A and B are shown apart, each in its own frame.
Chain A
């Protein structure tokens, strides 16, 4: 293996050049300025995502510097306590929600198609939509802060402090609605990434040949789908309590503030691993290249990542060790918290073992990975200490915890991401680093980081509480805080240098050659910087490191010698493979440039943000706009005639995705419904939690089920199950579709009426948390029966307009999936509403 191999790849000539011109025309985005609003290409979207996330990092960093300025000296008069509360709340919020998650999403959007050997992500427009929702929601939060309307209850917003009584004004609402819209964006991106990793890969790329980064991002994306819904539910509950006085957290009316803490940490603990795992994926990608060898124990690392992901959902209570939970409960979570260190340790030793196996070299990305090791191991060890219950009882809510979480997040996330930026810069910009500010920045950032946060650890052990706006000179923390502040400013200068270095190198450094590090994965086989179409043809791979197996792979790809190396069909085609083995199975046509994602994001964000200004009518209109635009969006896809199998190259005749029973949209729906199901499960959990432990339960009476409503619900469920099934059969056999659709819609209606009976029987949701919960359960049924009805109408219209045929049956399958989900969760919701009354 030598470093100089890629220079042997000659410039694509002849066929390669013609192919390049054809594909560039098909895949290119609008070159005018408005092209930024209509593009859905992963390179453009990823770049915008990256720039915006970096901007939020700068904002969060400035807030951090304000905090350290305030704490540099005792009895500081720099900020008043009210201002300080806003600043630290926003620092946490910006860094966690607006920087950390979007930044790795940006990286995966930019890198995944290249690594997997496909041309774009699975749902390009969904990616664009996610980007714009993120930009609108994030900007709203920042603008509110600049207007002095920021939330000030700490980034985990514990009620009752964040309730209307103790936090009047719109600060908390900005937080709840802004963050929820960003979570919607994250869920959109996660679905896109999951379907891409599972289906959109190079020919022959089985699960065991997938780049390790793709595994990590797959795991993290599933975690986003299961961890964010509890948080979204929590935000919803708190927002309706604040706006409509539904008492979910109000003790007097049967609520319980602890419910928020459970929902928040059900999200918050996995969140830590959602942030760490992408960084681990980056390390597992870069480190073997730096050691000039292959990753040691690939299968081990995959298993460790999956188990870490699942174990992390069993840890949430360890943030609540001081809330008076019985010791046995703490013991469960203490045991789980220590167990989670095992997969982490498997990963760490896999990486060190890889270094031992190969011949390690100390390039700049490797230097940052060394910074990761030195920092993250300390953060992990203090984390294990925090899992020990008595120790936790002492240092909880002191600066020790602050320092611990910064060791984990900066050491475990930011440092590897800097490594990734430097490592992938030649790929993303096509340039070789020329200005060597990076090394200087490293030696500024890492030592000053340790000085800052070791001091803060000490201050915490000496009893300095987090979130106190100042301290007295005689408390003995003066020197530690001053040292921490000075060092933190040096660190800030270092980070500024990195951003400067990357920006300057991206624009003016010298053109570089392909694959400067001698990596073996596919992203380095594309032309640099990556063209809009990514690969001129879909590569065929036989191993985990295709570029090592075939040094001339880039040439073969450029000449169109892979699959779909042909621009003559004049549309954006890429390959879909079977999930496990990676055999070519479908050809998918991706949609072109469109302003729809931008518009839909605009109305979605309006519906989220209008309630802040009590503009409920505007919010309502925006919601109508969301439905209308979504229908326009969906209507524009698909075809009116069957095309049959198409030539994919290498003699393969493959069906189009739109003529397959499991198109990508079906897979996307499955994962969206997973998130929806977790959201519903969280609601049931909240209900059971209040029923079990909330003071002021039981309510004065339980709802009594009425026989007619039960019968209506059951028959409705039956009709809504049967309707879409019969519709699928009718489309497949060419029978009449309308009657089956009508059956489904009548079923949905019956289910909705049964749910309405719950609301009518308990007309006052503000009276008790029980009533409020019933309204939400009924609301869940109402929303989903509404969605199912719209989809059924849509299906009927599509059939009438000629968009459905026995081959083009995928859309009907998606509708059936949604109807089944509606029936299943609807029956559970109604049973949950009726059961306590039946047994009381």
Chain B
């Protein structure tokens, strides 16, 4: 996407500069509109329509793949934001709760049900997925999946007042064994 953007930018600049270094054609009358075929139909209309159609289709197909669809080994957790902390809940009836650290199994799709109890926040773990807002009264579901076990940094990404910068959390992705241990210890 960046390369395409750069190419378009360079094309426009080249066309622009060429206008200044082109041998002038003094015979052309100001009322001459013959240039519209190339400039308007071709570059003005045709060019962006083709590139943008491709880009939109591409973006939407990727977006479709990121949706929280049904999956066989799906885990659902709950993330509840407030000024300026995160509470995560797990298991049936959400009996397990952790503060500031989200535990998930590695290698399995996880749905995070995001909500807020005061102002709007946003759940964002850059290495696992895009961001999704935590809005009071609404529950938004974000699909994340950590390929391997480890720790991932997460943060709120919607301005929420004084403590916004420090409104961070971590994601702890467990392998199958330690995930089982986590659930077992939590329910006791």
Contact = CB atoms under 8 A, between A and B. Distances in A.
Contacts of B63: 327, 330-331, 389-390
Contacts of B39: 296-297, 349-350, 352-353, 356
A166 B116 CA distance: 14
Interface string B134-177: 01111011000000000000010111111111000000000000
A463 B127 CA distance: 10
B159 A695 contact: no
Interface stretch (A374-382, A530-538, A612-620): A374-382
Contacts of A153: 159, 161
A300 interface: yes
A397 interface: yes
A161 interface: yes
A469 B165 contact: yes
Nearest to A320: B133
Contacts of A1: 30
Interface string A467-499: 111110000000000000000000000000000
Contacts of B45: 342, 345-346
Interface stretch (A179-187, A332-340, A725-733): A332-340
A384 B49 CA distance: 12
B187 to A, nearest CB: 30
Contacts of B48: 341-342, 345
B104 interface: no
Interface stretch (A5-13, A268-276, A358-366, A426-434): A358-366
B183 interface: no
Interface residues of B, number: 69
A160 B56 contact: no
A345 B47 contact: yes
B71 interface: no
Interface stretch (B4-12, B73-81, B85-93, B94-102): B4-12
B142 to A, nearest CB: 9
Contact of A370 (B16, B35, B55, B131): B16
A391 interface: yes
Contacts, number: 222
A322 B12 contact: no
Contact of B59 (A292, A347, A388): A388
A738 interface: no
B111 interface: no
Contacts of B8: 377, 381
A300 B47 CA distance: 16
A378 B9 contact: yes
A397 B59 contact: no
B130 A345 contact: no
B24 A355 contact: no
Contact of B162 (A85, A296, A349): A85
Contacts of B18: 356
B44 A345 contact: yes
B135 A390 contact: no
B33 A297 contact: yes
A356 B133 contact: no
Contacts of B132: 322, 324, 393
B186 to A, nearest CB: 27
B113 to A, nearest CB: 11
Contacts of A694: 137
B66 interface: yes
A793 interface: no
A378 B137 CA distance: 39
A327 B137 contact: no
A55 interface: no
A293 B28 contact: yes
A595 B43 CA distance: 53
Contacts of A345: 43-45, 47-48
Contact of B12 (A377, A385, A387): A377
B40 A695 contact: no
Interface in A112-163: 152-154, 158, 160-161
A226 interface: no
A463 B131 contact: no
Interface string B106-120: 000000001000111
Contacts of A323: 133, 135, 140
Interface stretch (A250-258, A740-748, A757-765): A250-258
A352 B138 contact: no
B43 A160 contact: no
A134 B55 CA distance: 42
A837 interface: no
B70 interface: no
A394 interface: yes
Given A468-B165, A469-B165, A394 B130 contact: yes
Interface string B9-43: 10011011011101010101011110110111001
Contacts of A152: 161
B56 A335 contact: yes
A357 interface: yes
Nearest to B36: A297
Contact of A358 (B1, B30, B36, B119): B30
B136 A160 contact: yes
Contacts of A391: 1, 59
Contact of A362 (B20, B60, B164): B20
A82 to B, nearest CB: 6
A193 B22 CA distance: 40
Interface string A166-186: 100000000000000000000
B36 A296 contact: yes
B35 A357 contact: yes
Contact of B133 (A322, A341, A342, A374): A322
B40 A350 contact: yes
A685 to B, nearest CB: 19
A245 interface: no
Interface of A: 1, 81-82, 85, 152-154, 158, 160-161, 166, 251, 256-258, 291-294, 296-297, 300, 304, 322-324, 327, 330-331, 334-335, 338-339, 341-342, 345-350, 352-353, 355-360, 362, 370, 373-374, 377-378, 381-382, 384-385, 387-394, 396-398, 463, 465-471, 545, 548, 694-696
Please name the 8 residue pairs, one residue from A and one from B, whose CB atoms are nearest each other, closest first. A393-B130, A324-B140, A353-B39, A251-B137, A388-B59, A355-B19, A346-B44, A294-B30
Interface of B: 1, 5, 8-9, 12-13, 15-16, 18-20, 22, 24, 26, 28, 30-33, 35-36, 38-40, 43-45, 47-49, 52, 55-56, 58-60, 62-64, 66-67, 83, 114, 118-120, 122, 126, 129-133, 135-138, 140-141, 155, 157-165
Given A251-B137, A334-B60, A377-B12, 18 more contacts: A81-B165, A161-B119, A292-B30, A296-B33, A322-B132, A324-B114, A334-B56, A341-B52, A345-B43, A347-B44, A348-B44, A353-B39, A356-B39, A359-B26, A378-B9, A387-B56, A393-B131, A545-B30
13 contacts: A152-B161, A300-B40, A323-B140, A324-B133, A353-B38, A356-B19, A359-B26, A389-B59, A390-B59, A390-B62, A392-B130, A397-B158, A466-B159
